[in-house]
Structure 1
Amino acid sequence: MITVNFCKTCLKLCIKLIAMNNNKIIVAVCPDYRRKLQNEKYPLKLKITFKGQRRYYATGYSATKDEWLIINSSSVKGKLKTIRNEIVKIESKAEEKISRLSLFSFQSFQDEFFEQPIRYKSLRSIFEDAIVQLEREERIGTAKCFKTTINVLEEFKPNLKLSNITVKLLNEFDIWMQTKGNSSTTTGIYLRTLRTLVNKAIVERQFDPKFYPFGRNKYQIPTGSKNKRSLNKEQLKAIFDYKSDPQNYFLNRSLAFWKFTYLANGINMMDIANLRKKDLFEDTIVFSRQKTKRSNRQSPRQITIIRNEIINQTIKMWGNINATENDFVFDIISKDDSAYDVKDKVNQFVKVTNDWMKKVGKLLGIEMPITTYVARHSFSTMLLRKG
């Protein structure tokens, strides 16, 4: 029979190996003999071994070879005993963090072990951080939505923190929104915005994912009812055949741009406002959507519109006759406008168009409110029907 005698340090490592054998992860603080410090000591590092790979993490402690032997002896005392106690705490913390991981990787261990300082002292602070970034990217519509969301949340409950976002609070907010006369669609918009920032906080390790309040068997964001938003052939024909008063400036402009939206592949008003003279060709209009310009800056996808008589008439009637190659086709926005000015002007243009088109719809006996969104949705529906 062979007898093997272990030193206490080796025995300690063996015990850890046995204890964590199921995951094949070895946790131990040990001297890093590869790096000798100027004071003749060696840095004590937390060593994690997994499937033959090792990672070393600083502990802030160091020791000479002799001190390391004393630290691991039963006679340790004084300052070295304090170091040993801290080492035990570090190893215990590492083992506890590893036990919480469903799938181990060195990166996931680091994310769990090294706790992040609190970056957001309030819920408003994470919203403001996101709003600044959105404004920098000129995503003004989304920035406004974020501002409205945090204002409504703080009207519901002031001084909220990320840690306050629970299933209970979300249910209470939902009920509060209903008592204020808001639709489930509006509630959904606000809470999808909030969810976006909770997800961001999880990535930044500012929110514990085990307390995630959204999803199945938790709080489910209302989707709202899906109303019919497309017109049939007869309704579309009635709008295109409608004879308006030639003296009514806003009515004629609204009709022209509503038809333009429908015929130009369901183009939205922001893209219409940003069309430039250089985008116009003899038989086509070629442009990049404002949305995709941000997400695909290197190679934005271009959209081609086939010009027809009505599109040409709209450009001739409502376009900028003296436009140079880089000028806007229509006088909806100007080059000197800020991103906020552009958003406000386009929103106002859409509002006026929608107001007049709703009046046209009533005159034609169409129950559905006729808006630019309906024009775009009707174009999409027509494409689906054509296959």
Structure 2
Amino acid sequence: MSRATVNLFFDKRASKDGQGVVKWLVCLDRKQRLFSTGRKVLLSEWEFLQASKTKLDNRVKDEGKIRLWHEFYGDTFPDEFSGKVQTSYLKRAQTVIGQLADRFTFEAFAEAIANFGKDVEKPIEQTDLIAALLNKANSMSSAGRIGNAINYELAAKSLRRFVNSFTDEERKEFLSIPIPRKSNQPRQVAILQFDHLTADFLTTYEQWMQYHGKAPQSKLKAATGASLTTVGIYLRHVRAVVNDAIEAGLMSRDTYPFGRNRYVIPAGANVKKALPKADIEKLKAYQPVPGTTEQRSHDLWLFSYFCNGANLTDICRLTWANVDTKGGKLTFIRQKTARSKRQSQTPIVAYLRPETLAIIERWGTTEKRPNAYVFPFLNASMTERQKKQAVHQTVKMTNKWMGKIAEQLGIEGDVGTYSARHSYATSLLKSKAPLAFISKSLGHTNLKTTESYLGSFDDEEAKAFLNAL
């Protein structure tokens, strides 16, 4: 990467008294910017400086000229009023450019040169990326967006583990921390700042995640690799706080590390989870042991499948106000979009079948006030974080038992709770339901999202479609 250069420039454009302002002329990659030193000199003084800028001639005896030269081109000079030793104007700019190094931007230079020699720094928590992620998590938690809050926390913990794994050489490369001169010298605390985020840093983090992304559950176990989907989730949250930092003026837009020709966040594989019709029929016909966790898990999977592929979060949060037994329908707003969209929400309407009514009767709570939960997984005394954890535990238990049921039935592939949603959408498509109808029933706002839910057709189905040509 090319290094910025600086020279002094005499600007007399707005001068009416024969004086001009001395400015720093900074150049980088054929771009030039002027920054005022705030110091005015006469044209005759500037001409003297230009004639002597590489070296002060020994024949110059005028103390005023000698002092002037040291003020602009020397190393240091005594301040005329305070007597304190000051760094020359050219040396100040060269020092700032050297300190910024590869993180140089014109904006960063302007801020650094304005604060040169001052003990003025941004509070460390403002430039600390990990602190910013945790602050964002707290904000999300206060707003009741617990899922997002947890992801910000996980991203912060992951980056902290990554930074803590650095060798001395990597700390120097990525965090600009000098290598200790002595082996017993304490290591400087590693703080990951916004300016440290580069495409190289993020690429290295992605590679590290694929080998060490999952933290060990105990000291006796080793870390294992995380998926690119997990990398994508974490880095989208990192990108969000980076965007906040740019808006707040804590980071220059010129150093933005994401996007084309920089670092592209991985999307992860969109694996289709829809089950074949034959496997769905096996699950529908299965008879679990009554009153057991197995039966409850089986019922929740079928409830999701029959109710427009509703996910477990929405099912657990259903209240009796959402249930219209006389009209035979269930009306609810998806939790995923309830807080993220400012426009009016389009409710999802799922028509109740005998199977779903029986599930409500079997597992529903007895207190049927409008704001009471239909199923017993949540209660009003829980905090949002406790509710999130309860839903997570319900999903985990349901997936565990559905895996056992699938094994008994000889069903291969994933039969977790999310497969019910994909299977619902794909079953509708194969029954020739219009894509727009499927999209609306899933609560999607655009058809492309719906298309990603739809599984592929098997060979026999493809042949049947082609025979109709």
Give the TM-score of the pair, scaled to structure 2. Answer: 0.57
| Secondary structure of 1:286's aligned partner | strand
> Cα distance 1:122–1:252, how it changes in 2: closer, same or farther (>3 A)?
same
Q: Is the 8 A contact 2:320 2:370 kept in 1?
A: yes
The residue identity in structure 2 corresponding to 1:146 is Y
Mapped contact 2:127–2:250 kept (Cα < 8 A): no
Superposed, 1:50-69 pairs within 5 Å as none
Question: Corresponding residue for 1:187?
Answer: 231
The CA distance in 2 between the partners of 1:153 and 1:73, in whole Å, is: 54
CA distance in 2, matches of 1:190, 1:373: 21
Name the CA shift for 1:384/1:193 in 2 (closer, same or farther; >3 Å). farther
User: Which residue of 140, 148, 161 corresponds with 1:142?
Assistant: 148
Shift of 1:335: 0.4
8 A contact 1:279–1:285 mirrored in 2: yes
Q: 2-side partners of 1:310 and 1:195: how far apart?
A: 44
Moved over 6 A (4+): 71-75, 112-117
1:206 aligns with one of 239, 250, 263: 250
The match for 1:306 is 351
- What corresponds to 1:55 in structure 2? none
Deviations 1:235-254 (A, max 9, x none): 1111101122225x101001
Q: d(CA) in 2 for partners of 1:383 and 1:204?
A: 47
What are structure 2's unaligned runs of at least 5 residues?
1-13, 20-33, 45-80, 82-88, 90-106, 116-120, 165-190, 213-224, 435-469
**Alpha carbons 1:9, 1:72 under 8 Å: kept:** no
- Cα displacement (A) at 1:149: 1.0
Q: What 5-or-longer segments of structure 1 have no aligned partner?
A: 1-6, 13-26, 30-58, 60-70, 76-81, 83-88, 90-109
2:8 aligns to what?
none
Give the Å deviation of 1:224: 2.5
Q: 1:347 aligns with which of 392, 412, 429?
A: 392
Letter in 2 for 1:262: Y
Relative to structure 1, is the Cα distance of residues 10 and 359 closer, same or farther in structure 2, using a 3 angstrom cutoff? farther
TM-score using structure 1 length: 0.69
How far is the alpha carbon of 1:125 from its aligned partner? 2.0
Q: Give deviations 1:2-56, integer Å, cap 9, x for gaps.
A: xxxxx964999xxxxxxxxxxxxxx9x9xxxxxxxxxxxxxxxxxxxxxxxxxxx
Mapping 1:290-329, distance limit 5 Å: 290-296=335-341, 299-329=344-374
* Cα gap change, 1:160 to 1:73, in 2 (>3 Å): closer
Mapped to 1, the partners of 2:269 and 2:340 lie a distance apart of: 30
Distance verdict in 2 for CA 1:202–1:380, change over 3 Å:
farther
CA distance in 1, matches of 2:237, 2:364: 37
User: 1:72–1:260: structure 2 CA closer, same or farther, 3 Å change rule?
Assistant: same
Rounded to whole Å, the distance in 2 between the matches of 1:350 and 1:244 is 18
- Partner Cα separation in structure 2 for residue 328 and residue 270 of structure 1: 12
Shift of 1:360: 1.1
Conserved 8 A contact 2:18-2:43: no
**Number of the residue aligned with 2:197:** 165
Aligned residue type for 1:243: Q
Shift of 1:263: 0.8
How many residues are matched? 303
Q: Is the 8 A contact 1:122 1:160 kept in 2?
A: yes
Q: Give the counterpart of 2:402 among 357, 362, 365.
A: 357
Q: 1:236 to 1:10 in 2, by over 3 A?
A: farther
After superposition, the CA RMSD in angstroms is: 3.6
Report the Cα distance in structure 2 between the residues aligned to 1:209 and 1:135, rounded to whole angstroms: 28
